[in-house]
Structure 1
Amino acid sequence: MKFNIKEMVRPHLKNIRPYQSNRDVSDKDQSIFLDANENPNGEYRLYPDSNAIKLKSALSIYTGCASAQVFLGNGSDELIDQTIRLFCEPGKDAVLILEPTFGMYRKYAEINNVEVQSVPLNNNFQIETDVFSAAVKRSIAKVLFLCSPNNPTGNCLANIEWCLESFDGIVVVDEAYIEFVPEESVVPLLSKYPNLIVLRTFSKAWGLAGLRLGYGIASEEVATCYNTVHSPYNINAVAQNIALKRLKEKAELYKGIEQTLNEKVRLQSALSDFTFVKKVYPSDTNFILVKFSDAARVYHHLNKNKISTSLRHPEIENCLRITIGNVEENNKLLQILSLYK
């Protein structure tokens, strides 16, 4: 498809040069750095590699994409914010979202004074193509955000490639939960659709939410835009080192995913037995959406017993989003629910 990224980037950002450190970090153990006014003592006294070269190389191997296609963020939240700041003029442009979905798309658009236009998903939390087409015809949006698997509904979205064909602007597919259904990834479509950007995170299957580390994959030209505007040293040394270590521990990753998926099946079955549970929705993630007769009462009952869940009512009527915990946590959840009256 014909697509010119330079026409999409905000005009004042087109000629900005990326921050560059003059250091050769590949030989830092043999070098003396007296250029950045750091403390000469301490384990983390030096600034991290501002380009995170080793981490991008490791992610290149993991994703099957070139290192130049990878860009990093302080959590994928930062990349959502960067996307809006890169492509949308405040007070003029808009983003398009399909609701219910991850709330940060709307939040960062509002922070940046960018209009949010919304298309509802159907009762199965899927895209209605005729409704979407009609919305796109009316829309001024430059960026479309798709979350697949979707948060908070838990399902993968169908028709993503159709959306790529139907929408002329930037299409961001947020794959925060893709490790739980890797066969559903749209990364193979990157070579076909230059307007596609894929976002991912280390917060879910990788178990590193406390590090705040996300990454994106796109064409080299698009990735360069992100690598140009990110804050210097936005990925700290601890995050880089731990992520590199985890990327070498794929057996542990897959073991953790298998345990979570097994627990999800058990929890879905057990929850279905409660009379006050009206529906347990299918899930492609590490959480399940559950409809109750009175979600607010169940939520407060759990909260009173020190179990935190996510109340999605009234956006999704009488629903809670429940993360799959470990065996002990899930057993406690079921025990407390058994006491609900």
Structure 2
Amino acid sequence: MFKLQELVRPNVLKMKPYSSARDEFKGSASIFIDANENNVGSLAGGTYNRYPDPHQKKLKKRIAEIKGVRPSQIFLGNGSDEAIDLLFRMLCTPGQDTMLQLPPTYGMYEVSANLNDVQLQSVQLTPDFQVPVEEVLRQVKPTTKLLFICSPNNPTGNLIEPERVEALLRNFNGVVVLDEAYIDFASEPSWITRLDEFPNLVVLQTFSKAWGMAGLRLGLAFASEEIISLLDKIKPPYNINEATQELALQALEKEEELKYMVEEIIQERELLVQALPTLEAVLKVYPSDANFLLVQVTDANRLYDHLIARGIVVRNRSSLPGCEGCLRISVGTLEENQQLLQAIREFR
């Protein structure tokens, strides 16, 4: 039986969150001399001399409308990495608790575990990059607080089968973090539609991929109101700056443009899926539900260097378990993809 209060660190349950000037004042006023801001103005122009809304109310309201959730089920972070780090700090006592990940997968789970002095457990994905549910449940310890699943998975690109995710949600009494950074490129719906069904579920998403806003560093966590309230309690008071909030609100008014961008990327992805296997250096192209492809080649190190020499940067993932001899290739524009194919065609 999942009981969040029994998982959260006792000091987190007891602590009082930082109270900012904008938290303490409710209502309207014409003169604000409460937060030690520069009331003369800002060299950046606009109202950037004022601290941003610490609770991102307007932005959360708009996201809630688009995603079909309640604003109280949304946490906004400085990239998804902030939400990952705060989940460790919220749940895991350093030097005592444990997290479980499923390599090959996104490297920040391990970095955050090491940073927070949390013991790392790893259960490798199956040869077709699915979760071995029974083995995961066998490896769970009483101290295992967090389980990270990336779907679509980075660097393999595939969705994790829903029945496997559900089996873990129903049988693991810790928090299951489902990282959906690439979900906009997939054919399956997001797990945010089932938040109310699973109180131990946290879904991570981002504005960095489909929305094309990687430079703004805006990540999202969707979860129960209880989990979100704890994340809000321990976050820095002004973690999302005013410019990011403004630009994100502007972007959210362009849902139709988002659809066209995603369709273009998927179309280019499928063209690469067809073209890459015809090249002599390519051994296998793995199925992808993301905006990148995992490609097994004859000599990953030499091909990587060959592409670098031609001004094309891909990611060499051949050192990861299960990804031997593989490059991860992001889907580019039509012109970029044609240059990539030509460069690989010239490789000997």
Task: State the TM-score, normalizing by the size of structure 2.
Answer: 0.93
Sequence identity (%): 46
**CA–CA separation in structure 1 for the residues paired with 2:78 and 2:217:** 5
The answer to whether 1:306 aligns with 2:311 is: yes
Aligned partners of 2:16, 2:55: CA distance in 1, in Å? 14
Counterpart check, 1:153 vs 2:153: no
SS at match of 1:171: strand
Seen in structure 2, the aligned counterparts of structure 1 residues 51 and 220 have a Cα distance that, compared at 3 Å, is: same
| 8 Å Cα contact 2:77/2:220 also seen in 1 | yes
Q: How many residues align?
A: 338
**Which residue matches 2:200?**
195
Tell me which moved more, 30-39 or 198-207: 30-39
Unaligned runs of 5+ in 2: none
**In the alignment, what sits opposite 2:10?**
11
Aligned to 2:272: 267
Aligned to 2:92: 88
| Compared CA separation, residues 89 and 182, structure 1 to 2 (3 A) | farther
Cα distance in 2 for partners of 1:123, 1:221 equals 37
Give the SS at the match of 2:271: helix
1:132 pairs with 2:136: yes
- Matched-pair contact (CA < 8 Å) for 2:312–2:340: yes
| Structure 1: segments with no counterpart, 5+ residues | none
Q: Deviations over 1:201-252 (max 9, x none)?
A: 1000010000000011111111000011100110011110111111111001
Say which of 237, 242, 249 aligns to 1:237: 242
Cα distance between partner residues in 1 of 2:167 and 2:176: 11
Q: How many angstroms apart in 2 are the aligned matches of 1:140 and 1:210?
A: 36
Helix, strand or coil for the counterpart of 2:102?
A: strand
| More displaced stretch, 285-294 vs 3-12 | 3-12
CA RMSD of aligned residues (A): 1.6
Amino acid across the alignment from 1:142: K
Q: Where do 1:114-133 residues align within 5 Å?
A: 114-133=118-137
The AA in structure 1 aligned to 2:135 is V
User: Partners of 1:18 and 1:221 in 2: how far apart?
Assistant: 15
Structure 1 runs, 4 residues or longer, greater than 6 Å off: 24-28
Partners of 2:51 and 2:187 in 1: how far apart?
34
Structure 1 counterpart of 2:154, one-letter code: N
Equivalent in the alignment of 2:72: 68
In structure 1, the residue corresponding to 2:123 is in which secondary structure? strand
**Following the alignment from structure 1 to structure 2, what is the Cα–Cα distance between the partners of residues 68 and 135?**
33
Contact 2:8 2:90 in 1 (8 A): yes
- 8 Å Cα contact 1:88-1:114 kept in structure 2: yes
**Aligned positions of 1:8-47 closer than 5 A:** 8-23=7-22, 31-39=30-38, 40-42=40-42, 43=46, 44-47=48-51
- Please tell me whether the aligned partners of residues 156 and 184 of structure 1 are also in contact (alpha carbons under 8 angstroms): no
